[in-house]
A and B are shown apart, each in its own frame.
Chain A
Amino acid sequence: GAVVSQHPSWVICKSGTSVKIECRSLDFQATTMFWYRQFPKQSLMLMATSNEGSKATYEQGVEKDKFLINHASLTLSTLTVTSAHPEDSSFYICSASGTPGPQHFGDGTRLSIL
C-alpha cells in the first residue's frame, strides 16, 4: 500500500534553531501534500497545503515566514520551522495521496524546543 515516510521522527533543539522536516511519498507521486500540527489531547490542525512546483497555501493564522514549505518534486515536501521557540513544540505530521483516495500519513515528527 501507499507509504509516506517522514524524517526525523524526534527532534530536540535549542531555542532559535531552524528545523527541517522531510515528507516523502515512497511508492507514488503526490502533487499535493498536507502539513498538520497536533498539540497534546487536541485534534489535528491543518497548517498548509504543499503544492508541487508552486507556493504552498497556508491556513489562516499560520505564518508562512515561520513555517517554510518547499515541494520541489513529486515525492518530497519539506517543512522548515525557522527560529523555533518553545511554543513551536508540537507533533508535526504530513500526509499525501496518490490517485483519488485516502490520505496516508507520515509517522510524524515530535519537535521539542528547549
Chain B
Amino acid sequence: RKEVEQDPGPFNVPEGATVAFNCTYSNSASQSFFWYRQDCRKEPKLLMSVYSSGNEDGRFTAQLNRASQYISLLIRDSKLSDSATYLCVVQLSGGSYIPTFGRGTSLIVHP
C-alpha cells in the first residue's frame, strides 16, 4: 500500500460546481497535512494546511479524519482558474521530516 494515495482523476466539472478530493495516508503517526496546487510546468504552491478541527479559506475547505486516516479538500463554486493538479502532502512532524506526496488529483473546470 502506498504511503499517500490519491485518485489521479481527472475530475472534469463545469464552472460553479462543487468538487471534493480525498487523500488517504498509511502512517498513523503522521502529524502535518497540507494541500498543494501544481499548475502545468510549474512548482507546487501551498494551498492550505489541514488542521484537526477542519479549516476553510474562501471557497476551499479542508478536513482531517484521523480515525480513517484521510484528508479531504472541497472546492465550492469552481472557477476555470481552479484547473490544476492538487497534491496531498503528509509529514510525520517538524520541518526535517521527509514530506510524502500523493501523486496528485487532476481537476479540469470547463465553461
Q: Are A108 and B49 CB-contacts (below 8 A) given A31-B96, A43-B103, A46-B98?
A: no
Interface pick from A63-71, A75-83, A94-102: A94-102
Q: Which residues of B contact A84 (CB under 8 A)?
A: none
Q: How near does chain A come to B97, taking the closest CB pair, in angstroms?
A: 9
In the bound complex, residues from chain A placing their C-beta under 8 Å from that of B102 are 43
A96 CA to B45 CA, complexed, in Å: 12
Q: Is the interface of B mostly helix, strand, loop or mixed?
A: loop
Q: Are the C-beta atoms of A98 and B95 separated by less than 8 Å?
A: yes
What is the bound-complex CA distance between A106 and B93, given in angstroms?
Answer: 21
A62 at the interface (CB under 8 A from B): no
B68 to chain A, nearest CB (A): 23
Residue pairs across A and B with CB atoms within 8 Å: the count is: 54
Specify which chain A residues have a CB less than 8 angstroms from the CB of B96 in the assembled complex. 31-32, 97
Contact in complex: B46, A91 (CB < 8 Å):
no
**Interface membership of A15, Cβ < 8 A:** no
13 CB < 8 A contacts A-B: A32-B95, A34-B99, A43-B87, A43-B103, A44-B44, A93-B44, A97-B95, A98-B95, A100-B94, A101-B49, A102-B34, A104-B46, A108-B43
A93 to B95 CA separation, bound complex (whole angstroms): 17
B95 with A100: CB separation less than 8 A = yes
Majority-rule SS of A interface residues = loop
Cα distance A42–B102 in the bound complex, in angstroms: 11
Chain A nearest CB: distance from B16 CB in Å? 28
- Pairwise interchain contact B43-A106, C-beta atoms closer than 8 A: yes
The answer to whether A107 has its CB under 8 Å from any CB of chain B is yes
- In the complex, the chain B residue whose C-beta lies closest to that of A46 is B98
Given known A-B contacts A43-B103, A44-B87, A44-B101, A99 and B95 have beta carbons under 8 A apart: yes
Contact string, B70-111, partner A, CB cutoff 8 A, digits 1/0? 000000000000000001010001111011011110000000
* Smallest CB gap from A51: residue in B: B96
Contacts of A97 in B (CB 8 A): 95-96
Instruction: Tell whether A95 pairs with B99 under 8 Å between CB atoms, given A44-B87, A102-B34, A102-B46.
Output: yes
